[in-house]
A and B are shown apart, each in its own frame.
Chain A
Amino acid sequence: MALPHEIVLKNKEVNQVDLSAVSGDLGILADHVPTIEQLKPGVIDIMADSGAEKYFVSGGFAIMNPNSVLNINAIEAFKLEDIDAQAVASNLAESQRLASNAKDEITKEAAAIEVELYEALQSALSAKSK
């Protein structure tokens, strides 16, 4: 799993990876059919023999190759523990306000993307605490 500024995971043997893709949520096991999926802002759950790790990614692509290597390119990824719920709530309110007050298309689109991100963050955090 690679980010432009950090390689989060490299050559890790895993059993299953759950992704949140634009086409829907899916779980990828070894020898999964090669696919290319665009990722929504959401949680990637990586299950290995050593335990499960959850990362929240801002978006990117996950590509399953025929040689059973899953490549994930994301822009930002953080462990759920590192995310501040308060900041998420206040930023969500801010972006919702921006989205409703936006004058032109571009600002509206950008604000809508932010809203989607923060809503996904919130649901991820609440799912974790459940």
Chain B
Amino acid sequence: MFARSAITTRTAVPALNAVGQTRNMATLKEIQNRLKSVTNISKITASMKMIASTKTTRAQRAMNVARQYGQVSNDFVKQSEVKKAENAKEILITASSDKGLCGGIHSSLSRYSRRYLNEHPDTPLVVIGDKGKVQLQRVYPQNIAYSFNQIGSTIPTFDESSGISSVILSDKAIEFDNAKLVYNQFVSAIAFETSEIENFPISQIVEAPNFKAYEVQEEVLENLNEFLFANTMHWALVEGHAAEMAAKRTAMENATKNAGDMIQRLTLQYNRGRQTVITNELIEIITGASAL
């Protein structure tokens, strides 16, 4: 009777163990695969973070220069104390870029632009950068007058900024007085703020109260208009680029940290699973040995 019960228990327990073992084995393989893929991803995000950090330092330096360049250019506009004309026609220019993986950069820009376009649905829109275009195209496709791409993977040059501004200015189909440049202001390495630069046309600046003090020849006024527009565009593009690089760095840092956490969790799970399998095997052996 004793032997019989021993036999029955012996056959029962190994069967259960076999199933438990195969289940654990499959889970172990799964966990191993997941571990491998998460480790790969974390390596990629870590290297992307490095790249973004170096790009950020360079972009920040360029931004400091471009900011001052734009502010110097707009100095006389500020000193003239220009006020926006009552029925000024406006154009909205959104400075985003082509690349993603940079946190909330593009969605913040498109939210700001959409808010503005909600209140002023007739405003022509110029989008710089495919990411911004895709988001704005969904809601305001009819407003988009121009879109530019291939901007933003490197620090924007004055060539590009002046090229964009001359295309916009030379298109007679788009009439505008004021230009609002929507861009991401670089607040710090971990923070940015979507804001706008207002670019006044020379026709309004000439009406400004303090502008009478300036002696200027008629012929240069139009050139000044274009120059001012190009300078402001350059400032917006370069600063936006710096904000994007910083956001990319932060996003990749978070991703790497999350991947690291996941790796830790998975490794613990894997080890526990492995130990369970070994323990079960030991129990089996011992039970079997003791029954003999």
Co-complex (A, B): yes
B residues near A (Cβ < 8 Å) are: 62, 65-66, 68-69, 72-73, 75-76, 79, 157-158, 161, 210, 213-217, 219-220, 223-224, 227, 231, 234
Residues facing B in A57-98 (CB within 8 A) are 60-61, 63-67, 69, 71, 73, 75
A128 at the B interface (CB under 8 A): no
Bound state CA distance, A3 and B210, in angstroms?
Answer: 26
Q: CB within 8 A of B68: which of A2, A65, A69?
A: A2
Size bracket, chain A contacts: 20 to 34
**CB pair A22 B220 closer than 8 Å:** yes
**CB pair A71 B73 closer than 8 Å:** yes
* Cβ of A35 to closest chain B Cβ, rounded Å: 4
Bound state CA distance, A60 and B231, in angstroms?
Answer: 11
**CB pair B158 A5 closer than 8 Å:** yes
* Cβ of B38 to closest chain A Cβ, rounded Å: 42
* Cβ of B81 to closest chain A Cβ, rounded Å: 11
Bound state CA distance, A65 and B73, in angstroms?
Answer: 12
* Cβ of B2 to closest chain A Cβ, rounded Å: 93
A10 at the B interface (CB under 8 A): yes
**CB pair A3 B68 closer than 8 Å:** no
* Cβ of B25 to closest chain A Cβ, rounded Å: 61
Bound state CA distance, A106 and B224, in angstroms?
Answer: 21
Residues from chain B with Cβ under 8 Å of A36 in the complex: 76, 214-216, 220, 224
Chain A 34-64 interface mask (CB, 8 Å, partner B; 1/0): 1111100000000000000000000011011
**CB pair A4 B158 closer than 8 Å:** yes
Q: CB within 8 A of B75: which of A10, A22, A37, A63?
A: A63
A23 at the B interface (CB under 8 A): yes
**CB pair A67 B216 closer than 8 Å:** no
Bound state CA distance, A2 and B70, in angstroms?
Answer: 9
Given A6-B65, A10-B68: A37 touches B220 (CB 8 Å cut-off):
yes
5 nearest A-B pairs in the assembled complex, by CB-CB distance: A4-B158, A36-B216, A38-B220, A2-B69, A35-B215
Given A63-B76, A73-B231: A7 touches B69 (CB 8 Å cut-off):
yes
A residues near B (Cβ < 8 Å) are: 2-7, 10, 22-23, 33-38, 60-61, 63-67, 69, 71, 73, 75
**CB pair B220 A66 closer than 8 Å:** no
Bound state CA distance, A80 and B62, in angstroms?
Answer: 25
Residues from chain A with Cβ under 8 Å of B224 in the complex: 36, 38, 61
Residues from chain B with Cβ under 8 Å of A5 in the complex: 62, 65-66, 157-158
**CB pair B210 A7 closer than 8 Å:** no
Q: Which A-chain residue is minimally distant from B76 (CB atoms)? A: A63
Bound state CA distance, A60 and B162, in angstroms?
Answer: 13
Residues from chain A with Cβ under 8 Å of B217 in the complex: 22-23
Residues from chain A with Cβ under 8 Å of B161 in the complex: 4
Q: Which B-chain residue is minimally distant from A69 (CB atoms)? A: B75
**CB pair A66 B79 closer than 8 Å:** yes
Q: Which B-chain residue is minimally distant from A1 (CB atoms)? A: B72
**CB pair A3 B213 closer than 8 Å:** no
**CB pair A67 B227 closer than 8 Å:** no
**CB pair B220 A7 closer than 8 Å:** no
- Pairs A–B under 8 Å by Cβ, sample size 25: A2-B65, A5-B62, A5-B65, A10-B68, A22-B217, A22-B220, A33-B215, A34-B213, A34-B214, A35-B215, A36-B76, A36-B215, A36-B224, A60-B227, A61-B73, A61-B227, A63-B76, A64-B214, A65-B76, A66-B210, A66-B213, A67-B79, A73-B69, A73-B73, A75-B158
Bound state CA distance, A75 and B66, in angstroms?
Answer: 12
**CB pair A71 B215 closer than 8 Å:** no
* Cβ of B156 to closest chain A Cβ, rounded Å: 9
Residues from chain A with Cβ under 8 Å of B227 in the complex: 60-61, 73
Residues from chain A with Cβ under 8 Å of B216 in the complex: 35-37
